[in-house]
Chain A
């Protein structure tokens, strides 16, 4: 009963003292119980626990002192998937949108089995081949047909977002398609590191070893994440030897060539070179176009070649961003009920296609305008009032007003100590001139375009 009183007091105190957002985020999800004279505070995750311990524990203890004769000992526990409060939080209704329909899958990991699964949508069929990856593709298909025999390990390296994961998973999926009883494990390196840590924490190294040593195919993505993690490297070294010795296939991906991997033991790096090391290069234009056409086909629509060329020409760095750009075009046209065309793609991507830093300063504006009108900046900032100087000055002031957050007195000040009313006059004048004089309007647009990319 005392526990209930204590917690009710806590809730009431926090509800008064904290903004609703914080109260709902940190305090509402907590559960309190008593066990053998101890107060057990249960949080839904370790992050909440840390915040509660850092920020709210003094007040919780203060409330406990008021209710209990002696300050009880506090125990903290983390229980994932704690039931969420059923009462509506004491806050504004925000049901202006449909009830969210979003869930994360429970992630109770009690065993090393059961995850490290393949993504079945990443297959050879939907992998686009070009000059940049044809050798890697050929090697991958060979490994998929003869796992553990042809190239072991298969080491695929290349920059981020070029399709290494897709290729590795396609091998795994093909092996499974050929022989559904094969034990295939795909895992990101960071997850493997987490597994080693968990094996330590739960004292389950035997189970860990049994699982990894019993696989037929082990795929580890982004092996560079092992850098500096000695215990992980040691465990992986044993697993690697066991698997390769018994002709089980190991496939590794990395962002760099094995010899350039830093923070990895030499014995591991040398073993990575036992099989075949193959690179994936950034895709050339035609390949990027082909990727876009394929992605569109997978989403059940036909993308016009011209649109694909437009996107591919402007997004050249990696496949992820290429895919992101296509999604943005799709979302834009859907929202504005327009068809996908070069024009709509241009509009959709104008924000993300800018190539320069958007932080625009008054100095930058003054320099750009002065260069454009071929006048000196000192003249622009002077008190001279000849027309060849006043127009550019007024345009620069109007651009500064539109493109920066400076106050009008600050803008005036940066133009040689002019008054804010001069800036207001300049802005009004430019607005007026742009409607009357198409040359001024075009100058303004050009300068705006130059400044904003």
Chain B
């Protein structure tokens, strides 16, 4: 059967506070909002948590909020930018020696000159494998663990994501996904995206058999 060629048009989706399922991260969200609103005491916040827990999502959401309010704000991964009103540096463990010095200098300058600095990594400051003077500084401000979602919260996040892509996630589909796929959120979202694309291509409604095909294909690819 010939499959439908798809135009590369997918509904807009980018990380915002709206599409972040808070789970057990209420206090962290409040701290981020306060820092962005300039009402918090601390302007350097370090976030840590497992891969897929939502750290990058939150950093990008913060940058979006600041940019939409016409502030200079930047999200950086693997490099360290110049001071701005909001600087978000993702994945601190991946920074090389020079970039770590640059982040150390950025920290000092922003502490002196103002602005909000958000940094994230997989480990809490005590266990971070970065230079000592940087490590202790990251532990100086507010430190929050980003808690991953439990299955119920993942279900909420997946249903919302399906809605933004224009389809409804049935209970059966959701249960199958949570039982048979990898259960970290980025993997689940990726499967959902693949399911959507596959269903459009074949003109079939998203269903458990279709999901099985997608999961089977992803296994063959890996």
Cβ-defined contact, B142 with A352, below 8 A: no
- Complex: how many Å from CA A97 to CA B40? 13
Q: Which of A46, A94, A191 contacts B16 (CB 8 A)?
A: A94
Contact of A97 among B33, B67, B126 (CB under 8 A): B33
Contact A96 B182 (CB under 8 A): no
Q: Contact check: which of B17, B26, B142, B184 meets A331 at CB < 8 Å?
A: B142
Q: Which residues of A contact B184 (CB under 8 A)?
A: 405
Chain B binding surface, main DSSP class: mixed
Q: Tell yes or no: A130 within 8 A of B by CB.
A: no
Q: For chain B residues 17-50, which have a beta carbon within 8 Å of chain A?
A: 17-18, 26-27, 30-31, 33, 35-39, 41-43, 50
- B84 CB-CB contact with A under 8 Å: yes
Complex Cα gap A410–B37 (Å): 44
A435 CA / B199 CA spacing, docked (Å) = 42
Give the interface centre of A25, A46, A225, A336 by most chain B CB atoms within 10 Å.
A25
Residues from 86 to 137 in A contacting B, C-beta threshold 8 Å: 86, 88-89, 91-105, 107, 119
Task: Kindly state the separation between the CA atoms of A352 and B46 in the bound complex, as whole angstroms.
Answer: 11
Q: Which of the four size classes fits the interface of chain A?
A: 35 or more
A100's partner among B37, B110, B187 (CB-CB below 8 A) is B37
SS class, residues of chain A in contact with chain B: loop
- Shortest CB–CB separation between residue A194 and chain B, in angstroms? 8
Size band of the interface chain B makes with A: 35 or more
Q: Known contacts being A46-B82, A351-B145, A408-B179, is A98 close to B37, with CB within 8 Å? A: yes
The segment out of B112-120, B155-163, B165-173, B205-213 that lies at the interface is B112-120
Q: Are A408 and B180 in contact (CB under 8 A)?
A: yes
Interface presence of B54 (CB below 8 A): no
The reply to whether B37 and A321 form a contact with Cβ atoms under 8 Å apart is: no
Contact pick for A25, options B16, B18, B61, B63, CB 8 Å: B63
Indicate with 1 or 0, residue by residue over B68-108, a CB within 8 angstroms of chain A CB atoms: 11111111100101111110000000000000010011001
A58 within 8 A of B: no
Does A428 interact with chain B (Cβ within 8 Å)? Answer: no
A394, B105: Cα distance in complex, Å = 51
* Centre residue among B68, B110, B112, B180 by max chain A CB count within 10 A: B68
A and B contact pairs by CB, cutoff 8 A, 20 listed: A25-B74, A45-B82, A48-B74, A89-B67, A91-B64, A92-B68, A99-B69, A100-B37, A100-B86, A103-B85, A105-B113, A188-B105, A190-B104, A225-B101, A320-B139, A327-B141, A328-B143, A351-B143, A407-B182, A424-B179
Interface residue ranges, A against B (CB under 8 Å) = 19-21, 24-25, 29, 44-48, 80, 84-86, 88-89, 91-105, 107, 119, 159-161, 188, 190-191, 194, 222, 225, 255, 317-318, 320-321, 323-324, 327-328, 330-332, 335-336, 351-352, 354-355, 357-359, 405-410, 420, 424
